[in-house]
Chain A
């Protein structure tokens, strides 16, 4: 059983390492991820939102819907924890 487990781990580890070969070079500005909307955010953030911190403007404004979902996930985690664990002592 241990041999099978080791084989599966090595197989998927090898697949993951093989996948990294296709990655673009580190910090390359011509990759698809850097060419899509990043340039627009970098150029227009201060002009459009008046916020010097690009991370904040992308997080809460351009990608505000995503952050709303994150907040809801945290809220749901807290509520689930309370529902599952909270017991009255009486």
Chain B
């Protein structure tokens, strides 16, 4: 079982750092068009920020920020965004995941629609990766018993 500890320096540093880590993660996801990055990398950084919260405080505190049901929801929403965009393209008369068809419902030209479609699926990937990272960490670190992890 994980032993509970309180360390002022570690906790304060993490409390100051975590918002910037999360902001950087969102930047990596949103800026994947122009620089190295994208959904997988940004999602990993976002998940790592929550894991840092678990390490610096404890699992109970981390679950106050990101409850288990919300985490599971993010997990599913991410994949659904990706697959849903593919279905919307199908419904608009294109091939599956042919984003250029999205220009019929978005106020942009087909090239811009492909760019926007890429951004949307990257957001979906980022959500899933973030939620899965945190879920796997919580389950493995506590042996599946989150509530008993601190004793």
Chain A at the B interface: SS class? helix
What is the number of residues of chain B that contact chain A, defined by CB distance less than 8 Å? 43
Considering the chains assembled together, what is the distance between the CA atoms of A51 and B39 in angstroms?
A: 15
CB contacts between A and B, total, < 8 Å: 104
Considering the chains assembled together, what is the distance between the CA atoms of A88 and B134 in angstroms?
A: 18
B145 beta carbon closer than 8 Å to chain A? yes
Q: For B36, what are the chain A residues with a Cβ–Cβ distance below 8 Å?
A: 53, 55
Q: For A52, what are the chain B residues with a Cβ–Cβ distance below 8 Å?
A: 33-34
Q: Does A61 lie within 8 Å of B118, measured CB to CB? A: yes
Chain B at the A interface: SS class? helix
A35 CB to nearest chain B CB (Å):
25
Q: Does B114 lie within 8 Å of A50, measured CB to CB? A: yes
What is the number of residues of chain A that contact chain B, defined by CB distance less than 8 Å? 32
Q: Does B144 lie within 8 Å of A48, measured CB to CB? A: no
Q: Does B131 lie within 8 Å of A71, measured CB to CB? A: no
A9 beta carbon closer than 8 Å to chain B? no
Considering the chains assembled together, what is the distance between the CA atoms of A59 and B119 in angstroms?
A: 12
Q: Does B132 lie within 8 Å of A68, measured CB to CB? A: no
Interface string of B118-138 (1 = CB under 8 A from A): 100110110011011001100
Q: Does B96 lie within 8 Å of A53, measured CB to CB? A: no
Q: Which of A65, A70, A82 contacts B97 (CB 8 A)?
A: A65
Q: Does B114 lie within 8 Å of A49, measured CB to CB? A: yes
B73 beta carbon closer than 8 Å to chain A? no
List 4 other contacts, CB 8 Å, given A50-B112, A64-B99, A71-B128: A51-B114, A55-B36, A78-B131, A85-B143
* Interface residues, chain A, with chain B CB atoms under 8 Å away: 47-53, 55-57, 59-61, 64-65, 67-68, 70-72, 74-75, 77-79, 81-82, 84-87, 89
